[in-house]
Amino acid sequence: MIGTLLATGLVVVGAGSILSFAPRSFRVGLVVQAVGVALVGLSGLAVFVSGDELGASFTNELEPRLGVDPTSGYFLFVLGIVAAPAVVFATRYLAPTTTGRVIGGLTGVFLLVLALVLCARDPLTFLAAWELMTLVPAAIILVGRHDREARSSVYVYIGLTHLMGAGTWIAVLLLADAGAFGGGSSLETGSSTQIAIAVAALVGMGTKAGLVPLHTWLPRAHPIAPAHVSALMSGVMIKMAIYGLVRVLVEWLGELPAWYGVVVLVVGGASAVIGVVYAIFQHELKRLLAFHSIENVGIIVLGLGACLLLHARGADEWAGVALAAALLHTLNHAVFKGLLFLGAGAFEKVAGSLEIDRLGGLLQRMPWTGGAFLVGAMAIAGLPPLNGFASEWLTLQSLLAVPANGGVAEGLAGALALAALAATAALAVLCFVKVVGLVLLGRPRRSRIEEAVEMPVPMRGAAAFLALACVVLGVVPGLLAGPLAGLAPWPTDDAAGVAVDVPWDDSLPSPGIFLVLLVGSGLLAAARGRRRAAPAPSWACGQVVGPELQWTSAGFTKPLRLVLEAVLRPTRDVTRSVRGGVLQEVRYEGHVPHLFDTHLNRPITRAGLWAASRARRVQSGSLTAYVAYLVALVIVLLAAVRTGAIG
């Protein structure tokens, strides 16, 4: 029954995708896609809740097989809850031009590929879907934009995800070789095969997830995609890497050594802090949101690291809680990041660009989209009673459980990760106060926004649906958190309740907090009563607050920039033009460079190009030379076999 529903959903998405290519059925096709992906999401949820396996189970053979189990089902639900509103949003967001139709059609292909990653049950299908998942959005970006900047960004995106993504191939093929694709054969803890697979998976899938320092493709590729595709990329695509990491590290590799858990914690903590710090200094809304994806993937990976570490220490019940924290944040991030990217797409429509200092006043003009965006911003900032708070609370709990379960070095790593996550949450508040202020509040900073009107119903409906999901998931996180702990391959406490419970007799009664906040602020607002006084202008020492007195993003983040100066190395450039001894103009330019680009990527790129120019010398173009190379290779191989080096 559920299997039929899932298959129907996938077929409907495919049909919708084909319909979207045709000019007359473009919008219908997108709606059909949305219905299909909603069916896929619901059947995924049903599989997750029922705990059954459908279709084939995992195999190490290289023959195509498809199936679903509760873990796949949960991620299909993540796909459905973001993709359905995103595609509905696209019905109005995309114009039915040739470009729009091709993007709309390819969106459906992208959805199918994402579902294929989750349903693949053999190494070959998994790897094929994995590669397509990288290539399809690249194609969508290039259909939408042809300029040099977009081409170069896509080049970096594909180059980096393929070079580093080789880790995924190595991990999956080694797993298949060891007979552990899908679990089954228990690898010995600390064996070289196990460690090789674990490291390769972290590099390969970590690149796809956008973990520091392999993240530099993410803030380039995500912002240039169409808004609904950005939502899918940030909300769902990078979560496929989390899916892969959960499968490999938690389910298939058996028990990993504790030091590996510490490595994962360090990578997660670094991604969280570095992602949010750079997000704060971005000037383009979608690029800023892309950096926040790095932050949130870091938070998810912190949960994963705590899970591995706690499992290694034998605290299995806690390890289940940590896994639930990671998976819950995966869903929550998908929901609020999808919402924020859709909001950004709507704002781009009315404002023309997303330069953050040139927006403003959008809440008054677009109350639905703006209000939903505000909810999303509060959710990503981890504020109660919304969903980001619930999963960050659970992550904090599981990080605190790391020192509580012993081991001096591991415990210290856990405590540092705890501090990093607390600081990350506060930095996210700083960043989203800035975003809300500059985008939604105050007066418009550009004349085009004066005439801005609310978006059509499908667009604002999609945003409002996701905002509602932020609230609901924040009020009853326990319904998911309990069963999520049950996805761990070891016995855990997977009881579902409304509140979230943790093993040391503490719980987050989120409905109570929601009620106190709602009723409390309602009563206080009522007690405050109506205003008798007339509105007054803002106080600026008697000056009129004109546009030139408005604050900018750079001004608001200056204290943090100064505090972190030694780390961030911001540049500033002041030029004065003086004519006839009289100062005419002072130009100030400040910039926070992305040090991973300048200090890591650029030297590597340069070295790569240098090596390529050397390698080019052997490429003479003459056929005899290539035959000679082949003969030489065969001789070397034969010699190696003869001496026993290989074979």
Partner 1 sequence: MSGASAAAAAVQLVGGLALAPLLPGLVQHWKARLQGRRGPSPLQPYRELARLWSRSSIDVEGTTLVYRLAPPVAAAALVAAVLLVPAAADAPELGVGHSLLALGGLLALARFTVCAAAWDTENGFALMGASRDLTISVFTEAALVLSLSVGALVAGTTDLTGVIAGTAGSDAWTSPGLALGAVGFALVVLAETGRQPIDNPDTHLELTMIHEGPVLEYGGRDLALLQWTASARHWVVLVLAAQVFVPHAKDVWLQLAILPLVLVVLCGALALVETLLAKMRILLAPRLLGIGAAAALLGVLSWLIETG
- Using CB under 8 A as the binding rule, the residues of this chain from 558 to 617 that contact partner 1 are 558-560, 562-563
Comparison of 361 and 483: residue with beta carbon closer to partner 1: 361
Comparison of 39 and 418: residue with beta carbon closer to partner 1: 418
Distance CA 489, CA 483 (A): 13
Instruction: Please pick, from the candidates 179, 190, 352, 520, the single residue that binds partner 1 as defined by CB under 8 A.
Output: 520
- Taking the complex as a whole, how short is the minimal distance between the CB of residue 55 and partner 1, in angstroms? 40
Distance CA 338, CA 227 (A): 9
Cis-peptide into 477, omega within 30 deg:
no
Distance CA 264, CA 195 (A): 13
Instruction: Please pick, from the candidates 62, 540, 633, 634, the single residue that binds partner 1 as defined by CB under 8 A.
Output: 540
Q: Tokens standing for 12?
A: 């409907």
- Taking the complex as a whole, how short is the minimal distance between the CB of residue 52 and partner 1, in angstroms? 34
Q: Tokens standing for 1?
A: 């029954």
Q: Tokens standing for 549?
A: 């007195």
Name residues contacting partner 1, limited to 23-42 (CB under 8 A).
none
Instruction: Please pick, from the candidates 24, 192, 447, 536, the single residue that binds partner 1 as defined by CB under 8 A.
Output: 536
Comparison of 539 and 642: residue with beta carbon closer to partner 1: 539
Of 109-117, 141-149, 520-528, 611-619, the window that binds partner 1 (rule: CB under 8 A) is 520-528
CA distances from 502 to 154, 400, 547 (A): 43, 11, 51
- Beta-carbon contacts of residue 91 (< 8 Å; ≥ 6 apart): 27, 30, 31, 34, 458
Distance CA 469, CA 81 (A): 9
Q: Tokens standing for 371?
A: 């209000």
- Taking the complex as a whole, how short is the minimal distance between the CB of residue 589 and partner 1, in angstroms? 20
- Taking the complex as a whole, how short is the minimal distance between the CB of residue 548 and partner 1, in angstroms? 11
Comparison of 341 and 373: residue with beta carbon closer to partner 1: 373
Name residues contacting partner 1, limited to 440-469 (CB under 8 A).
440-443
Comparison of 507 and 619: residue with beta carbon closer to partner 1: 507
End-to-end CA distance of the chain: 50
Closest CA to 596 of 277, 154, 381, 138: 277
Instruction: Please pick, from the candidates 64, 159, 352, 512, the single residue that binds partner 1 as defined by CB under 8 A.
Output: 512
- Taking the complex as a whole, how short is the minimal distance between the CB of residue 467 and partner 1, in angstroms? 15
- Taking the complex as a whole, how short is the minimal distance between the CB of residue 636 and partner 1, in angstroms? 53
- Taking the complex as a whole, how short is the minimal distance between the CB of residue 440 and partner 1, in angstroms? 8
> Residue 385: what residue type?
P
Q: Tokens standing for 326?
A: 């990671």
Backbone angles phi, psi at 589, to 5 degrees: -130, 120
- Taking the complex as a whole, how short is the minimal distance between the CB of residue 590 and partner 1, in angstroms? 15
DSSP 8-class letter at 1: -
Instruction: Please pick, from the candidates 453, 525, 574, 646, the single residue that binds partner 1 as defined by CB under 8 A.
Output: 525
Of 256-264, 347-355, 447-455, 538-546, the window that binds partner 1 (rule: CB under 8 A) is 538-546
Question: Rg (Cα) of the chain, in Å, rounded?
Answer: 26
Comparison of 58 and 432: residue with beta carbon closer to partner 1: 432
Instruction: Find the helix packing angle between 70-93 and 457-475, rounded to 10°.
Output: 150
- Taking the complex as a whole, how short is the minimal distance between the CB of residue 367 and partner 1, in angstroms? 9
Comparison of 538 and 624: residue with beta carbon closer to partner 1: 538
Q: How many residues bind to partner 1 according to rule CB under 8 A?
A: 89
Name residues contacting partner 1, limited to 332-371 (CB under 8 A).
363-364
Comparison of 184 and 520: residue with beta carbon closer to partner 1: 520
Closest CA to 428 of 265, 326, 291: 291
Q: Tokens standing for 73?
A: 């089902």
**494: helix, coil or strand?**
coil
Name residues contacting partner 1, limited to 492-511 (CB under 8 A).
499, 502, 504-509
- Taking the complex as a whole, how short is the minimal distance between the CB of residue 469 and partner 1, in angstroms? 19
Distance CA 512, CA 285 (A): 34
- Taking the complex as a whole, how short is the minimal distance between the CB of residue 386 and partner 1, in angstroms? 9
Name the helix (H) or strand (E) containing 78. Answer: helix 70-93
Comparison of 80 and 403: residue with beta carbon closer to partner 1: 403
Distance CA 339, CA 316 (A): 35
Of 176-184, 209-217, 518-526, 635-643, the window that binds partner 1 (rule: CB under 8 A) is 518-526
Comparison of 158 and 404: residue with beta carbon closer to partner 1: 404
Instruction: Please pick, from the candidates 55, 437, 461, 570, the single residue that binds partner 1 as defined by CB under 8 A.
Output: 437
- Beta-carbon contacts of residue 526 (< 8 Å; ≥ 6 apart): none
| Torsion on CA atoms 410, 415, 421, 426, rounded to nearest 10 | -170
Name residues contacting partner 1, limited to 196-215 (CB under 8 A).
none
Comparison of 535 and 644: residue with beta carbon closer to partner 1: 535
Binding mask 51-90 for partner 1 (x = CB under 8 A): ----------------------------------------
Comparison of 146 and 528: residue with beta carbon closer to partner 1: 528
Instruction: Please pick, from the candidates 25, 189, 550, 601, the single residue that binds partner 1 as defined by CB under 8 A.
Output: 550
Distance CA 437, CA 443 (A): 10
CB 250 within 8 A of CB 304: yes
Q: Tokens standing for 359?
A: 């927006």
Comparison of 133 and 340: residue with beta carbon closer to partner 1: 340
| CA dihedral for 364, 368, 369, 371, sign (positive or negative) | positive
- Taking the complex as a whole, how short is the minimal distance between the CB of residue 17 and partner 1, in angstroms? 40
Q: What residues does 576 pair with on adjacent strands? A: 586
> 611-633 b/e with 16+ CB inside 10 Å = b?
eeeeeeeeeeeeeeeeeeeeeee
Name residues contacting partner 1, limited to 374-433 (CB under 8 A).
374, 378, 381-384, 389, 392-393, 396-397, 400, 403-404, 406-408, 411-412, 415-416, 418-423, 425-427, 429-430, 432-433
Q: What residues does 120 pair with on adjacent strands? A: 66
Q: Per CB under 8 A, does 647 bind partner 1?
A: no
- Taking the complex as a whole, how short is the minimal distance between the CB of residue 410 and partner 1, in angstroms? 9
Instruction: Please pick, from the candidates 521, 571, 619, 620, the single residue that binds partner 1 as defined by CB under 8 A.
Output: 521
- Taking the complex as a whole, how short is the minimal distance between the CB of residue 414 and partner 1, in angstroms? 9
- Taking the complex as a whole, how short is the minimal distance between the CB of residue 309 and partner 1, in angstroms? 14
- Taking the complex as a whole, how short is the minimal distance between the CB of residue 337 and partner 1, in angstroms? 18
CB 395 within 8 A of CB 326: yes
CA within 13 Å, CB half, 29: 25
